[in-house]
Structure 1
Amino acid sequence: MNKQIKKLSRKDKEKVKSLWSKSEKRVLIIVASVLFFALLAYYGIPAIKYQRNQDSLNELYNQELAVNKVCMVGDEIKFKVIRPVKIEGKTYWACCSKCEAKLNNNLNDIRNAIDPFSKEIINKADAVVVQNPTKKGRVLFFKTYNNYDKYIAENNIEQP
């Protein structure tokens, strides 16, 4: 079986048309570029924000936190606006409507915490709030800042 391979002449090659015209190719390149940059922005900007938040968390070690940056239901530091919830003359802070409802209903005694040093039950609205030294982004509630210092010393926790 002998197959003959026909070579295309220059004229024959010119007759073979591309799948897309030049203008269609330009549009395709533009669309692909826009899609690429949109994906880069969608995934890149949150990564930059995440890194900034991590850097901010590192700066918050060993200091009392502003309570309006802490969701008192999830016991975590928030980098967005959170809402005050006034209950029985005290102000609690919630990051969303679900957390606000849990505070209003006091589900699972959510308005209270146990001081990790003294083991006393304390009201979160009256507590000293500090970042958990072993769980970045999470918080602990203490009766006093002195209790926090004693907790760190008693548990031999090294600060970054």
Structure 2
Amino acid sequence: MVIMDNSSTAMTGHQDNPGIDWSVTKDRKAKKVEIEPLVRAMGVEKVVTVNAFNVKEVKEGFEECLKFDSTAVLITKGECIFVSRKPKPAFTVNTDKCIACHTCFKVGCPAVVIDVVKNEKNGKFKAKIDPTLCNGCSVCSQVCPTGAIEPPKSGKESLAE
């Protein structure tokens, strides 16, 4: 089982829920209900919690849960980008390194778009990051096999860290 904890109830309009530390009226702090102890209290022996924006962690978490013989729960934690209080600078594509393999497009991020620059070897268009849509999560950068998707030069860490 996978529980995707984004600190919001996204499918119904980003309402608050017991997993955040503010009251519904946002006028005072409230007790946050942690998902992992709740799942363990239901008798689940194998619970793995990972950073939703760290591709390697998520993959390893899935593998660990799949090896378990009984019910296992993977909890991915990562604040919903639409309610994030931590905006990050946009990533960029180094077109000299990009081989137009299109692995980054498979992430499904709306910020990863097709550039007008073509790869001379395969004739495919290279990737480009739309800075108005990029939230700095770094997922595209983590899957790029050539390291062509580079972090912002500001020195701020990505959401994966």
TM-score normalised per structure 2 = 0.22
Report the structure, 1 or 2, having the larger helix content.
1
The structure with the larger Rg is 1
User: Higher relative contact order by CA 8 Å / sep ≥ 6: 1 or 2?
Assistant: 2
TM-score normalised per structure 1 = 0.22
